[in-house]
Amino acid sequence: MSEPNPYSPPQQPADAVEPVANRRSRNSSLMVAWPVALGVNLIVPMLFGAEMLGKSGWSGVVIAITMFLLVGWWLCATWPRVAKRLVTGASIVALSQFVPLLQIVAGLVALGVAEAMGQASGADFDQNPFQIKTELGGWIVTVVTGCIMAAASMTIGTLIFLIPGIEKKSPPQPVAES
């Protein structure tokens, strides 16, 4: 009898693989939760950002929000464990809007980036607030703000899932010997 080849793929019984239908039903709840989490997290940034946007800039904001929605759905479909952490963290970040420190700091950083790129005019804080000049400026401010908030959401969600017992882990499946 020869020794098993260490480079051969592991042999699993056919019933050890999770059916595709189970994965789809599990992911469908994330597909619904993501747009809800995204929408709730838009409340404070949109309240602050609306007065900075002139007639131009709105299309850039809508395109950026649509991109976040599509990327989130893609994440839910391809990496549900990562998406679960993102949605969980986004729920906590949404609750933080009652004291919107994160949202204000993210917005100020985003406005600084847009101003450095010539897409927003700076505030003199006496009379003129920040003004976003173009559609590209609206897109930049939305993407930078969203990335900061998504990073905070992912960090919080990951920390929550580090707590023992939060995530149910399935027991390891036995490998069939050939």
The distance of Cα 60 from the centroid of its chain, to the nearest Å, equals 19
Is there a contact between 106 and 117 (Cβ–Cβ < 8 Å)? no
Say whether pLDDT at 157 is over 80: yes
Taking each helix axis as running N to C, give the angle between helix 80-95 and helix 58-78, from 0 to 180 degrees, rounded to the nearest 10: 130
pLDDT band with cut points at 50, 70 and 90 for residue 13: low
> What is the DSSP code string of 127-153?
S---EE-SHHHHHHHHHHHHHHHHHHH
Q: Each residue of 94-106: pLDDT tens digit?
A: 999 999 999 999 9
Q: Is residue 12 part of a domain?
A: no
Q: Is residue 114 part of a domain?
A: yes
Q: Domain for residue 175, yes or no? A: no
- Averaged pLDDT, 124-146: 83
73 within domain boundaries: yes
Q: Is residue 123 part of a domain?
A: yes
Domain count, the chain: 1
Kindly report which listed range (10-24, 35-49, 75-89, 101-115) carries the lowest average pLDDT score: 10-24
pLDDT computed for residue 146 by the predictor: 96
150 within some domain = yes
* pLDDT tens per residue across span 60-95: 999 999 999 999 999 999 999 999 999 999 999 999
Per-residue pLDDT, averaged over 29-50, amounts to: 91
Please report the pLDDT score of residue 2 as a whole number: 72
Q: Which residue has the tokens 């395109």?
A: 63
CA-to-CA distance for 90 and 108, rounded, in angstroms? Answer: 20
- What is the per-residue pLDDT for 14? 57
Count, in order, helices (H) and strands (E) of the chain: 6, 2
How far apart CA 7 and CA 17 sit, in angstroms, is 21
Q: Is the pLDDT of residue 42 over 80?
A: yes
Residue with tokens 């609206």: 138
Q: Is the pLDDT of residue 117 over 80?
A: yes
Distance of alpha carbon 98 from alpha carbon 100, whole angstroms: 6
User: What per-residue confidence (pLDDT) applies to 28?
Assistant: 84
Residue 149 domain-assigned? yes
The domain of 139 spans 40-161
Any domain includes 17: no
